[in-house]
């Protein structure tokens, strides 16, 4: 029996309770969690913005130590440190055949599986494949990647979502070039990782935008050269900070229609906007045909940073070891499993960066 954070039904409060995990079967790995990040996507799962089978064990950003492996697993062994990969690619669907593994059509099929059971026998699903809000988890072998040398196991949890997403938004989706100007909307865990990625890319002016004035110090420590408290005049303020032109690149990490529209309005003519935030179906963004022609801007979605974790983790590890990427700087609160509901409340209130569950 282990403890886990269970979502009984969409819209219900999380329950911290005991669950029974099976032993790993063929092609599976059992992992003892060292840490798990509390991501806005977990909140989106709990309130129904994103849909997965329930009841479920939430949590998708984690790292830990392999306890045991099932038949056929050879790339990791008991005692190895691993990062959980919540969106493993199948390698055979159409997007995977194009090399776009982040769009794998089968990445989330594992959420329909029975992952564990409660004490009364209720079947539980893994919220986003890996069920990281638990002391231990059993996952498919393609959901674990070895922790790179020199990366602390607890901090490595952040590589599983926030860092890969922020890094990829800058380097894969927006393709920020040295000397370009960048605006990042939303200074949460992903936003802080995006700011660090923009700094590493050599952006000249980096504008952080958030509703909370209290996040300025966090943003500047991550690489922001300017800070704007979100308002109706945000786009105008950003243009003023960039000689009247607007930024070359805007990265939206919030997932709200008004923020996406403001990010678009903040870019120069020919600028690029990358949307990382996950919004609901009710968040409708409007553009008129003339402005699309006149401004010549591009608007792109970005899934999991458009990243290939197997290729990107070694690159990120190099930056970590060299001191260019600071994983610990993303964490503003270290909590236990019982603190997850409070972390959800802080996210709704726009407080802090990444809360990290430390086991």
Q: Can you tell me the distance from the alpha carbon of 162 to that of 152, in angstroms, rounded to the nearest whole number? A: 16
Q: What are phi and psi of 115, to 5 degrees?
A: -95, -40
Question: How much is the average pLDDT of 161-188?
Answer: 97
Q: What is the pLDDT of residue 51?
A: 85
Per-residue b or e along 93-129, where b marks 16 or more CB atoms closer than 10 Å to that residue's CB: bebbeeeebbbbeebbebbeeebbebeeeeebbbbbb
**Taking 90 as the threshold, does the pLDDT of residue 48 lie above it?**
no
The pLDDT mean for the chain works out to 96
Confidence at 289, pLDDT banded by 50, 70, 90? very high
* Helix residue spans in the chain (DSSP H): 40-47, 94-97, 153-156, 162-168, 189-201, 216-222, 234-241, 257-265, 289-295, 309-321, 340-348
Using pLDDT thresholds of 50, 70 and 90, give the confidence band for residue 69: very high
Q: How many helices (H) and strands (E) does the chain have?
A: 11, 18
Residue 104 in this model has a pLDDT that exceeds 90: yes
Q: CA 104 to CA 276: how far, in whole Å?
A: 17
When pLDDT is cut at 50, 70 and 90, the band that residue 192 belongs to is very high
Q: Domains of the chain (ranges plus CATH)?
A: 2-160+326-358 (3.90.180.10), 166-303 (3.40.50.720)
Confidence at residue 131, expressed as pLDDT on a 0 to 100 scale: 97
| SS3 readout for 201-234 | HCCCCEEEEECCHHHHHHHHHHCCCEEEECCCCH
- With 90 as the cut, is the pLDDT of residue 47 above it? no
Give the Cα separation of 19 and 24 in Å (integer): 15
pLDDT at 152: 94
Q: What percent of the chain has pLDDT over 70?
A: 100
- Using an 8 Å Cβ cutoff, are 197 and 224 in contact? no
Residue 180 structure tokens: 């370009």
Residues 214-218 have a mean pLDDT of 96
The predicted structure's pLDDT at residue 125: 97
Give backbone dihedrals phi and psi of 293, rounded to 5 degrees, phi first.
-65, -50
Examine the pLDDT at 263 and tell me if it is beyond 90: yes
- pTM, rounded to two decimals: 0.96
Q: For the ranges 18-27, 49-58, 122-131, 139-148, which has the lowest average pLDDT? A: 49-58
Q: How far is CA 226 from CA 112, 179, 185, 199, 237, in A?
A: 44, 15, 12, 12, 11
């Amino acid at each position: 029996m282990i403890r886990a954070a269970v979502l009984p039904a969409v819209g219900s409060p999380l329950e911290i309770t005991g669950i029974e995990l099976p032993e790993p079967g063929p092609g599976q790995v059992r992992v003892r969690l060292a840490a798990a990040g509390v991501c806005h996507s977990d909140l989106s799962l709990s309130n129904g913005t994103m849909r997965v089978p329930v009841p479920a064990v939430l949590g998708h950003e984690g790292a830990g130590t392999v306890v045991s492996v099932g038949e056929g697993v050879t790339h990791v062994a008991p005692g190895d440190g691993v990062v959980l990969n919540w969106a493993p690619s199948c390698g055979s669907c159409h997007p995977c055949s194009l090399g776009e593994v982040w769009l794998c059509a089968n990445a989330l099929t594992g959420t329909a599986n029975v992952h564990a059971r409660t004490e009364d026998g209720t079947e539980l699903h893994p919220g986003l494949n890996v069920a990281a809000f638990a002391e231990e988890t059993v996952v498919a072998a393609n959901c674990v990647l070895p922790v790179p040398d020199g990366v602390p196991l607890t901090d490595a949890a952040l590589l599983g979502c926030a860092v890969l997403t922020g890094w990829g938004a800058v380097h894969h989706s927006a393709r920020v070039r040295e000397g370009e100007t960048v605006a990042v909307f939303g200074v949460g865990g992903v936003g802080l990782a995006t700011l660090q990625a923009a700094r590493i890319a050599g952006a000249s002016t980096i504008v952080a935008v958030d509703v909370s004035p209290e996040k300025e110090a966090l943003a500047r420590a991550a690489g922001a050269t300017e800070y704007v408290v979100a308002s109706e005049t945000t786009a105008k303020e950003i243009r003023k900070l960039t000689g009247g032109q607007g930024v070359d690149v805007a990265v939206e990490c919030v997932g709200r229609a008004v923020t996406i529209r403001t990010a678009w309005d903040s870019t120069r003519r020919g600028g690029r906007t990358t949307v990382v935030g996950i919004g609901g179906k009710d968040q409708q963004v409007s553009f008129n045909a003339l402005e699309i022609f006149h401004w010549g801007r591009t608007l792109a979605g970005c899934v999991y940073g458009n990243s290939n974790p197997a290729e990107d983790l070694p690159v990120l590890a190099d930056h970590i070891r060299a001191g260019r990427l600071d994983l610990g700087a993303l964490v503003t609160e270290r909590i236990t499993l019982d603190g997850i509901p409070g972390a959800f409340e802080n996210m709704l209130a726009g407080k802090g960066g990444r809360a990290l569950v430390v086991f």
